[in-house]
Amino acid sequence: MTNTLHRYGHAESFKDDYIIFAIPSKGKNDEDCIPKLKQFLRICAKYNPSNMGNGNRGSLAPEKGLHPTAHWKRDATPDWEKVIDGVNKPGTVSAVFASEEQAHACLKEVIAADFGISVNMSTSVENAKRAAETCGIKRHSVEYALAFNDPHDHLPNSQVLGLSTMCGHGMVSFNMARKMLDMVREGRRTTEQAVTTLMRLCPCGVYNPERAKRLLEAACKEQR
């Protein structure tokens, strides 16, 4: 089970969205798994991930002395080594790729490493099928998330849902996604600034900044 199943969009919208997880099972293979989790992330880091995270500590190191306007000027340069160093107890670790080729290359090396812990890929069904075939493995299962059902029309539009649901724990609120859309449309913030802000709110590191940027740019074009 993964909260990334709830990403909103048509299958084609996940052409640049591949998440690879490593998840130990409590009481089964979690003993001495920390070196394996770190090595998994080091393999992922080699293939230029868009984001990377540790479910116990998040994707970015905490900072002190922040204030409301600090977000627009903070250094957004990824430091994957800090993420890897932060893995100090069993838990889920993950990496997000915006390129099919990079995702496939990473998955091949992870398969060869044979860590003995569960590894999942979250993307569209066709993308996952193609990844398994390319890497020479058989896809053993498929997990679906049913469509959103809102008969009372309480949900926001598809543009907001696409941006917000990339954080499966709901830490990127609809209002925040809507605010970033409005600010970019009004020219008050750049696409990169908006995406970096949204990305920071997702503690697990599964938010895809490349897909978010594409969705934001498409929304702005539609508005014009």
Domain assignment present for residue 150? The answer is: no
Residue 51 to residue 86: CA distance in whole angstroms: 15
**Using 50, 70 and 90 to split pLDDT, how confident is the model at 136?**
very high
Domain count along the chain: 1
DSSP 50: S
Residue 167 to residue 177: CA distance in whole angstroms: 11
Give the pLDDT confidence score for residue 223 in this predicted structure.
64
With 0-12 CB in 10 A as exposed, 13-18 as middle and 19+ as buried, what is 210? middle
Domain assignment present for residue 129? The answer is: yes
43 against 143, higher pLDDT: 43
Contact at 8 Å (CB) between 41 and 33? Answer: no
Give the pLDDT confidence score for residue 59 in this predicted structure.
58
Domain of 8, in residue numbers? 3-144+155-223
Instruction: Please report which residue ranges of the chain form alpha helices under DSSP H.
Output: 34-45, 80-85, 100-113, 125-134, 158-164, 174-185, 191-200, 209-223
Domain assignment present for residue 25? The answer is: yes
- Predicted TM-score (pTM) of the model is 0.89
Domain assignment present for residue 139? The answer is: yes
